[in-house]
Structure 1
């Protein structure tokens, strides 16, 4: 009987030891899982690198190319390079979707932007976007879309895309139209305001009124002619006054684009979409040199 009792005690001890061992294994596994999750969270919070390229005009004649005008062939080379190296083009709405709703961005996102809304963007860039299935953000100037886009005088060298052409591109799903002001695209000479920048001697109230009126006029024009309300403001000439930021936010803009040459870090913080940097695409530099040298992208 004593022997049997001893066996029972031994079995109970072994069961208890097994239970303790199993509990220890589970605790270690849970701890490892929590540690991995804690490691992943900061990595996610660090954000996603977003390079943005700034283009303006595309023209075939070499004598008409310059700091803000490159050839359609060079633009095509850029598209081909990005495709071959695994980059996916995104637009502002993709960034908003990620920040607000957590909808994932591509593994290697890149944004292509065209400023001013030239007719040659429609003539040369748009067909290439269709061919390579790439997207771009186009920021036209409202006054020029209305005054310099008459059908009978359209010319790649000097015309701007019409509202109908802008709508066609937007409807394709490859082009996103954003606000570049209605009539603030002025260089600041002869006492003019430079872009959307505050003028010396102008009160904050006067500046706020001028900015609101012009930008809202462009919002209304895009909404009426294209059926879309812009979510981003592209600063003309990259001229920024700090007073503009709260005004644009108040007007409902969820992003702003500058001309600062730097990469962007996109996180879940809505503030990361204000003051996005862009690299101007120069003439005379190959796609490989530009993307890996100037922009420091992975080859």
Structure 2
């Protein structure tokens, strides 16, 4: 990736009270199994629930935005559509392609797919290269979720290039498009990774439900998991009241 422009460096200094745009995170989209723990069900969205949530978003007038739109809004004040929301998918699970993709297409929604590169073609449960290329061609954003999904707090030295730069380059070759956005494995971030993300030219990075970094909120954009146990009224309530100046 090329080095950051002055605009990017200045944008990373946005004040922490910049209003947040709702960003939802999804992992597995499948029916619950008897062995699934109660806590795991937050991360596992039954397909029927996913369909209801997408319909609720559409019926309520939400517009799915993509990272370039969010970045332009936060750095330049570019207007967003009414009731914006971002739909993001982690880990390269195949059901995100086979179930989420056609359901979003019903409403003209596009999403952000954070890819763990070594999960591609790993087994029948993960996406193939052809599927990822198709997502990109259809207007979804392909972004980086590292090479192997490590705990970033354990990385050092050459690990940074291996996990941040190598997979981005590989994804760029696969899709023919730049990779400018990143999601932290497990949603975990700390201060040591922020300079590394800047070094490799990422415009923004997405965590989970923690306060943003006061100095670099664009590298700690907050997401919440669309809980597989939520009904549509709970999701609606969280979208309206769960994204304050945190």
TM-score range (shorter-chain normalised) is 0.7 to 0.9
TM (norm. structure 1) is 0.68
Query: Would the aligned equivalents of 2:144 and 2:179 in 1 still touch at CA under 8 Å?
Result: yes
User: Once the two structures are superposed, what CA deviation does each residue of 1:208-231 show, in whole Å capped at 9, x if it has no partner?
Assistant: 421122211101110111112211
**In the alignment, which residue of structure 1 is the partner of 2:6?**
none
Give the 5 Å matches for 1:279-290: 279-290=224-235
Distance 1:294 1:168 in 2: 30
Q: 1:48 offset after TM fit, Å?
A: 4.2
Residue 35 of structure 1 is matched in structure 2 by none
The 8 Å contact of residues 63 and 109 in structure 2, kept in 1 or not, is answered as yes
Q: Does residue 1:97 correspond to 2:72, yes or no?
A: yes
Residue 209 of structure 1 pairs with residue 174 of structure 2: no
Distance 1:208 1:105, change over 3 A: farther
User: Taking structure 1 as reference, are residues 136 and 166 closer, same or farther at Cα in structure 2, changes over 3 Å only?
Assistant: same
Match of 1:167 in 2: 133
Do 2:114 and 2:142's aligned partners in 1 also have CA atoms closer than 8 Å? yes
Mapped pair 1:178 → 2:138: no
Q: What residue number does 1:28 align with? A: none
Count how many residue pairs are aligned between Structure 1 and Structure 2.
Answer: 223
- 1:46/1:281 Cα in 2 relative to 1: closer, same or farther (>3 Å)? closer
State the Cα distance separating 1:67 from its structure 2 match.
2.8
Distance in 2 (CA, whole Å) between partners of 1:62 and 1:295 is: 31
Confirm whether residue 112 of structure 1 aligns to residue 67 of structure 2: no
2:122 matched to 1:147? Answer: yes
Partner in structure 2 of residue 55 of structure 1: 26
Is 1:226 equivalent to 2:140 in the alignment? no
CA contact (8 A) 1:56 1:116 kept: yes
CA distance in 1, matches of 2:163, 2:19: 33
Structure 1 residues 208, 103: CA separation in 2 closer, same or farther (over 3 Å shift)? farther
CA RMSD of aligned residues (A): 2.6
**Max radius of gyration: which structure?**
1
**Alignment partner of 1:243 out of 189, 192, 199:** 192
Q: How does 1:28-47 map to 2 (within 5 A)?
A: 47=18
Query: Residue 125 of structure 1 corresponds to which residue in structure 2?
Result: 100
* Residue matched to 1:71: 46
2:209 pairs, out of 240, 260, 279, with 260
Q: Report if the CA contact (8 A) 1:261-1:280 is conserved.
A: no
Q: Is the CA contact 1:81–1:287 (under 8 Å) kept in the aligned structure 2?
A: yes
The structure with the largest helix share of the pair is 1
Instruction: Write out aligned runs for 1:183-198 (5 A).
Output: 183=148, 185-186=149-150, 195-198=151-154
- 1 or 2 for the larger relative contact order (CA 8 Å, sep ≥6)? 2
Q: Which residue of 2 aligns with 1:204?
A: none
Q: Residues of 2 paired with 1:112 and 1:64: CA distance? A: 28
- Paired with 2:207 and 2:59, the residues of 1 have a C-alpha distance of 28
What per-residue deviation string (whole Å, max 9, x for no partner) do you get for residues 42-74 of structure 1? xxx974430111110111455476231111121
Q: Which runs of no fewer than 5 residues in structure 2 stay unpaired?
A: 1-15
User: Following TM superposition, by how much is the alpha carbon of 1:102 offset from its aligned partner in structure 2, in angstroms?
Assistant: 3.8
CA distance in 1, matches of 2:227, 2:210: 12
TM-score, normalization by structure 2: 0.81
